[in-house]
Structures are given as C-alpha cells and as structure tokens.
Structure 1
C-alpha cells in the first residue's frame, strides 16, 4: 500500500501499514511459528485487532480488574520476559514488528512457564485499533528509533498524538516508562510530555546514576549503550 492510499484521519494522520504475514513469498521458521507453534500466544497483524476489548476475557481468561500491561517494541524480549516472570498476577502484551525477536520474546516467556504473556505483530502507531479505551495499565517504551533525520517529528513515536492516545487507553493510576539513549530525542519528547495530561513522576538524563538505578532492569540495548559510555535518559509518567 502506497502512501497515497493509506487511511487518512481528519487530523491528517496517515495510518502506517505493514505487510501481511500470509503474503510472504518465502516463509521461514519464525514467520510460520506466529500462526503455528505459538498461535495461542502470538498474533499476526490480522488476528491481533480481533482481540480489541476482549484481551482479558477471551485471551488471558482473567477478570476485568486484573492488570494488563503493554511493552512497545520487545526486541529480543529480555525485559518482556522479566516483567512476565516477576509479575505472575499481571498480564502483559508485547508489540514487535520483526518476526525473529517476536518469537524469541514469547518463546522465552513460555520456557520460563510465564503463560501470562502474549505478543502481537502490529504497528504501535495504530494502538487504538488494538485496544479499547481503559483497557491498558502500565506501558513500557524502551529505546524506540530516535529518527534523527529531518523528518523526525513526523516519525518519532513519543509525540503529542501518541501521548493522547495512550492516555485514553490506560486506566487511572497507571504509569508510562520511556527510555532512550538519544538526548536529542529525549529533550524533544519532554516538550511533548509537558504539554500532555500526564504527571511527571521522575525524570533523569542519567538513569544509572539516579536514585532509581537500583530498581532498573537493564535491557540488551541498554547494556550495549552503557558499555559505550552513553548515558540513559528516562522518564516515568502517571495517569492520575
């Protein structure tokens, strides 16, 4: 689908589209596993939105008051697995576009007997097609693409539209964590955040030297950046 015929909202936002798994010409283990071996725990781009409004009742089989968190961009799944294992009474949904890390993420959870996790191949800019307002609790956004090109404001994920969207999707009292190694992206995002409805609980441009360092779980990317001497920017927001 070209940019000319992407769905366009009244505010001019063009919904990003991704290729369909069933249209892949040369499938491999990871592309087949999402609808095969891990079908009950992993959802492709066509099946995922069918769960909107029914994640707790139909997918996790839990009561509506059980917490359900979201990790946007699981990567190879170290933090995703950590959250699932350490919080067995909470549910967690992960989003990841790439097939291999998607399968690695959910497979790692299941190998650790963490059956409270599900994962979707879905574009994070379209979260409102995946969840109903008030369906989410905590949200984790770790090291998204900083988009340092001239078109950065258009493509950066932590922006005004997404913040408003997440606010609607989260339940009161929930928090949103954002980490990035890009100082430029962090400062740009903080301008967006300060104009949002969120309360800033904690903000730092050097996470590992901050008062919350001992509670921080280091992702794979985070370990790499730290070894390179790069300071990690972090902010925790809360929906009152």
Structure 2
C-alpha cells in the first residue's frame, strides 16, 4: 500500500519536543534523555502509536521509545501524543536497521514488533523485521535477558519467523496461532491494526523470543 505523504510532516517532526533528534548522539546516554534509570522498551514500526502510548500510560515505571521510519505516519502519532500527560515516552524517525548506532549494548529491555510489513517476495526476505539480519540488530542493543515480542495477522510471515528466529540463534519461548483465544492473550494491548483485523474474525499470531 502506498503511503500518502503529508506536506510539512518532516518539519513538524523536526520541531517536536517528543521526537529525539540526532538519536545516535544519545547512544549510551538514554538514562539522561528520560532523567531516570528505568528500563527501556521500544516498538519498531509504531504506526499511529496507540499500542506504545497505552503501554506508557499503564506502566509509568518503564520508559518507551516508539520508532517509525515514515514521517507522515509518525506525525499521526505525535498528534495523539500532544493530548496526553506522559513523561516516559519519546519517538524517533529512523530506520530500524540502524538501532545499533542509537542504543548501547544492554540499553533496551524489550523490542515490540507489531503487524510489520510482510515483504512477501523472497528476494525481500532480509527486510522482514524478524529476519536473521534484524534479529542480529536487536541482539546488539538488548540486555542479556531481553526479549522480542512479535504480533501479526499474516500467517506466512509468522511461519517464516518461527524458522528465521531460531536460525538467528534465538529461542522461541512461547507462541500462539490465535492470541485472543490463548493464555498469551491475557493483558494484551491491541494496536489499531489488531483491533481492525480481529474484529473481522481474523486470528492474531504472537511469539516471544529470547536468547535462551
């Protein structure tokens, strides 16, 4: 699906107090960004931001960073953020492949991947956010106990992920082919896409991966 560009979105993002500008300069110093030593969790491909903003509201003891590479999409999240009284969430407009240049080893506790682009063509497999290449990136920023949580409605991408993640040296700790009818669904926070897909009766797939 072609994204509609919103004129002026880049300028608005550049001037927003909620967006970390030049994030690579913060590497190793994210505690100073938030002003505390709380654990950091990130969402790669946050879309309009409903998921991560709800998490930030529910868990003030955790710091959150929402990552979105498309300015026009991130702008929608900023518009939502402006009406919330939260001090534990920031955003970045970057490509996830560069996360190793932004966070130090062990600076991140958890990575959320929600309804990522499936990149269905085989030649684009490396672009999938659960590919071996991206799992190696997450490995460079997570704590030793850190985990990756992945949700999707795309069965093909999910089955690919069940194979690619172990190939990358990770262990799939738990998974389900029907999140909303499983024990893994307890306390689940939905994204905009998840609500849309599940309302049509589509199953939601989820897995949690760690190094051991």
Does the alignment reach a TM-score above 0.5? yes
Q: Distance in 1 between matches of 2:48 and 2:208?
A: 23
Give yes or no for contact 2:128–2:134 (8 Å, CA) kept in 1. no
Task: Report the TM-score, using the length of structure 2 for normalisation.
Answer: 0.89
Could you say which structure has the larger radius of gyration? 1
State the partner residue of 2:36.
62
1:1-240 → structure 2 map (5 Å cutoff): 27-28=7-8, 30-36=9-15, 38=16, 40-44=17-21, 47-57=22-32, 59-63=33-37, 66-240=38-212
Post-superposition CA distance 1:105-126 (Å, at most 9, x none): 2443452211111101100112
Matched position secondary structure for 1:174: strand
Post-superposition CA distance 1:177-218 (Å, at most 9, x none): 001111111111111112233332210111111112232111
State the partner residue of 2:3.
none
Q: Relative contact order (alpha carbons < 8 A, sep ≥ 6): 1 or 2 greater? A: 2
In structure 1, list runs of 5 or more residues that go unmatched. Answer: 1-25
Post-superposition CA distance 1:158-181 (Å, at most 9, x none): 111211221231112222100111
Post-superposition CA distance 1:88-146 (Å, at most 9, x none): 11111111122233133244345221111110110011211111111111110001100
Shift of 1:75: 0.6
Q: Distance in 1 between matches of 2:61 and 2:185?
A: 25
**Higher deviation after alignment, 145-154 or 214-223:** 145-154
In structure 2, list runs of 5 or more residues that go unmatched. Answer: 1-5
Give yes or no for contact 1:77–1:101 (8 Å, CA) kept in 2. no
Shift of 1:27: 4.8
Give yes or no for contact 1:164–1:196 (8 Å, CA) kept in 2. yes
Paired residue total: 208
Q: Distance in 1 between matches of 2:122 and 2:148?
A: 27
CA RMSD for the aligned pairs? Answer: 2.0
Question: When you count strand as a share of all residues, which structure comes out higher?
Answer: 2
Task: Report the TM-score, using the length of structure 1 for normalisation.
Answer: 0.79
